[in-house]
A = this chain, B = another copy of it.
Amino acid sequence: MSGKRDKREAIVEAMLDLIVERGFHDAPMSLLAKRSGASPGVIYHYFPSKDELIHAVYQHVVSIKHELFFEGFSEDEPPREALLRIWLNAYRFYRTRRKETRFLDQYLNSPYCKTGAEEEMRSASSESARILQWLQPKKKGGIVKDIPSEAIYGLTLGLAASLAKAPKTFSPVTLKRIAETVWQAIADE
């Protein structure tokens, strides 16, 4: 019976579209009302303010990202295979979920995520934190090079992001080759 959750989600989804299309500076509530099919009154029934709504959009996007990144992941997979899996998952996310990627790029670099962001930051970093936490013991164990965690992140997921933004589509073979180059770059011999 198309309950209220649906309407809430429709609002979040419409706001996501709006921001991606027109940016934070040009995403008025009036247009959101039109696009989402919910009147201004209803929007303010679900969200106390525009800012809170935008934070909600962020939470929504982050949960999708987290889910897709760790699809099929298991703690006891060999390090190499686990990393290759996450890397390919990340590439797939950045490539297929363009709207979500674009929103994240805008949001994370805007002052929006600095204000009232505490709850968020925990979930924001949760997915990279989870990866890094998993990598930590591998460093001590000499499986992964002892370079800063940020470098590892940049070499792996950062690369996936910048590849996914390229106009070209890469064949599975090419991707596999790149993923292996990535592993070589961070693995300790």
Smallest distance from the beta carbon of A147 to chain B beta carbons, Å?
Answer: 6
Is A8's CB within 8 Å of the partner chain B?
no
- Residues 20-59 of A, flagged 1 when their CB comes within 8 A of B and 0 if not, give 0111111000000000000000000000000000000000
Main secondary structure of the interface of A (DSSP, over half): helix
A: interface residue count bin: 35 or more
Task: Please give, as numbers and ranges, the residues of chain B lying within 8 Å of A151 by CB-CB distance.
Answer: 159, 163, 178, 181
Contact B158 A154 (CB under 8 A): yes
Q: Give bound CA distance, A189 to B122, whole Å.
A: 41
Question: Which among A65-73, A75-83, A133-141, A166-174 touches the partner chain?
Answer: A166-174
By the criterion CB–CB under 8 Å, are B154 and A163 in contact? Answer: yes
Query: Inside 8 A of A110's CB, which chain B residues have their CB?
Result: 23-25, 106
The residues of B that contact A26 with a CB separation of less than 8 Å are 111
Q: In the docked arrangement, what's the CA distance between A147 and B109, Å?
A: 29
Could you name 28 residue pairs across A and B whose Cβ atoms are closer than 8 Å? Answer: A22-B111, A23-B110, A23-B111, A24-B24, A25-B25, A26-B111, A102-B109, A105-B109, A106-B109, A147-B174, A147-B177, A147-B178, A148-B163, A148-B166, A148-B168, A150-B163, A150-B166, A151-B163, A153-B162, A154-B163, A155-B185, A158-B158, A158-B159, A158-B161, A158-B162, A159-B159, A184-B185, A185-B185
